[in-house]
Structure 1
Amino acid sequence: MLTPSIIDRVVIAALEEDAPWGDLTSESLIPATATARAELVAREAGVFSGGDVFAAAFRLTDPRITVELLVDDGDGFASGAVLARVSGPARGILTAERIGLNFAQRMSGIATITASYVAEVAHTGARIVDTRKTTPGLRAFERHAVRSGGGHNHRHSLSDAVMAKDNHLAVLAAGGVSVTAALQGAIARLPHTTHIEVEVDRVDQIEPVLAAGIGTIMLDNFSLDDLRRGVAQIAGRVTVEASGGVNLDTVRAIAETGVDVISVGALTHSARALDLGLDITIDAAPVIAAR
């Protein structure tokens, strides 16, 4: 999902937003011939993500800048670790540093919280997945970060899978249409490769949905007891996803009910940016990192 063309398109837009008419500060204070070295340093422990994005911020600002990544996406690191080294024209490094940091901090924050969820359910067969609750325009970046943390991705967009949620079912019910019949009609019209998932919020909705021949059923905001009852009732006929009320305090118990997938919106919509800094030296004189 995170292809070079997507990286370049998003990073170019970010650089243009941050310096639409150039970097007035660097261009007025820093000699054009000055060179610099910089280190990307972890101020706290975490899981790294966004190395190619970080490097692109500098490459697209000035192709003479070189970035050496010292860790791979998905690698854990301790506080104080040096994650990358940057060298080249000082003006370009100073111009690109905030954009490079913004992406690396955001993506590493997502990877780090995802790894915490994955660790909580490691003793079960449950898979931690993200949702479409991503920052507009940054879905590929944020979902890559989820994978860096050991998680998995849900459908990428509205276009690549059918997912009938409570509002869809409510519209069908208001029109007097049987959920089973509506789903069977959709299956008949869709290519055989299209995956179909349906969300239910009550145990009594399970059988009418399963009768249609769908692939995944989401048990939304079920209590732990109802999750266990639902898993027993479904009995392996389809993939079972749990959603709603998932956090680090509840995810272990949810996984232990026997569900196959747990979707967690908080991986992307509530992740805290990790504290990373870029320590820069120009001609042996240290420059304070961006704030």
Structure 2
Amino acid sequence: MRRARHIAFDACHACVPATLFASILLLTMFSVQPVLVVLSLTGALAFSALARGLRATLLGLRWQLPMLALVCLANPLFSASGSTLLVRLGPVCVYAESLAYGAVMGALMVSVVVWFEDAVAVLTQDRLLSLGRGGSSSVALVVSMASQLTPQLLRRSRGVEASLSACSAAGPRPGLRERLTRESGQLMTWALEDSLERADAMRARGWESGTRRTSYRVDILRESDAAKTCGVVVLAFLCAFLAAVACGQWSFYPVMPALVCWWGYAPYAALMLLPAVAAVAERIRWRGLE
């Protein structure tokens, strides 16, 4: 029988991993510096291998690595600038700085995609709903209705357009402005009618009748969870300051400076590797209980 994979942050409130992954994603997207991007990509792949499995991570890399190579090779075609000429292909000059910038941006895109996959593996739908408590049900309802009504309006728009095109006996074909006005008016009429019917149906089912309904809480916010969240926020602000310093001292064009060993990379690496360390600790804890 296959054993269940114990993912990190299962014993924590959902606000802890939500704060952690939101901080990591924001720092990753705005930190365009080679060392910071490599640290973020390493942490993302390490946690992905632990939480999602090595096979799923490698299957994702089958299309993520070609995307990285495509961005790296395509950047010199659009940004032919730098000081270190590598090769000249007719009118196209390939510089080392352009290749480096493309490689860093490609790795950044891959790391962001992998971090999103990692966040989805931890923050399931029920845990996300528990974050918003009462308001989350309303947001989920609005999103679900929008996802249902948008395709319906598009289908009706095509039906209205086909009907107007078929009415050739009523006179010449109307212009674009007149046709759009008639289509939008008809669609607005249908949308208002549907909104009244849906509102009546929801009211008949007791939605927002004034009585507060109880619900099962998947997570309970404890003092330890609040302390962990505050610790993540403090570490994230420290890493944001250090990342701003590192990015301010680095530039790809016209000449890339030499990378040096700096203590500021240590807190950033700690934040990026924190999910993987938590996953390993969770597995060790479960093995001790078995």
Larger Rg: 2
Higher relative contact order (CA 8 A, sep 6+): 2
The structure carrying a bigger strand percent of its residues is 1
Normalising by structure 1, report the TM-score: 0.24
Q: TM-score, normalised by structure 2?
A: 0.24
- Larger relative helix fraction: 2
